[in-house]
Amino acid sequence: MSRLTCVLIMLFTPVLVIADDEIQKELKALQGKWKAVAMEAGGKPLPKEATPDFAVTVGADGKSTGKMPQEEFGFVMTVNPKKDPKAIEVQHESGTEKGKKQYGIYKVDGEKWTVCMTIPGAAETDRPKDFNTKDTSNVVFVFERVKEEKKR
């Protein structure tokens, strides 16, 4: 191994570790169950009663599940908290969208998590730049954290 290679490895390894630590910290902050409380598509919010019964359970490692009355599916979620806005990717591992990816952005405000995503199978270049869905096929979900019931 050349000296230059050794120097480059020594210089960039801490950056990679810090970035990975930030990703793990972000996934840990998102860990738990979230329920959709609002949705927007085509630039218009859906009426509250039309918001789908949709819940997401995020694992600390990114392995997650989505649950709707008609389907439950598994996916791996990756995040990049250094982007502005923060970036998210979903790789579907089961369900009707198995093998497809989705690209999006997100923000967290306390116990509220807002996610703007492409449709499954869209190109990464279609990743939303903001939370506006007008003239796009993107969808915004607003999730609220589900409080765990304490066991007696």
* Domain parsing of the chain, residue ranges: 3-145
Percent of the chain past pLDDT 70, that is, above it, reads 85
Cis before 14 (ω within 30) = no
pLDDT in tens, 30-82: 999 999 999 999 999 999 898 999 999 999 889 999 999 999 999 999 999 99
Structure tokens at 40: 């927007």
For residue 37, the Cα-to-chain-centroid distance in whole angstroms is 16
Phi-psi group of 62: left, alpha or beta (phi > 0 → left; psi -120 to 50 → alpha; rest → beta): left
Average pLDDT for residues 101-112, to the nearest whole number?
96
What is the spatial distance between Cα 54 and Cα 114, in angstroms, rounded to a whole number?
Answer: 14
Tokens of residue 60, six digits: 């600390």
Mean pLDDT value across residues 95-113: 95
Which of 6-10, 18-22, 137-141 has the weakest average pLDDT? 6-10
* CATH number of 3-145, picked from 1.10.760, 3.30.70, 2.40.128, 1.10.287: 2.40.128
pLDDT at 145 over 60: yes
Query: Global pTM?
Result: 0.83
User: Which one, of 91, 94, 61, 96, lies nearest residue 76 by Cα?
Assistant: 91
Q: pLDDT-based confidence at 20, cuts 50/70/90?
A: confident
Q: Is 108 helix (H, G, I), strand (E, B) or coil?
A: strand
Q: Tens of pLDDT along 116-126? A: 999 999 999 99
Report whether pLDDT(114) > 60: yes
Three-state DSSP class for residue 151: coil
How far apart are alpha carbons 94 and 71 in whole angstroms? 10
**CA-wise closest residue to 140 among 150, 128, 124, 152:** 128
* Tokens describing residue 65: 């599940």
Q: What are 63's two structure tokens?
A: 């392995």
8 A C-beta contact, residue 66 and residue 56: yes
Instruction: State the Rg of the chain over Cα.
Output: 18
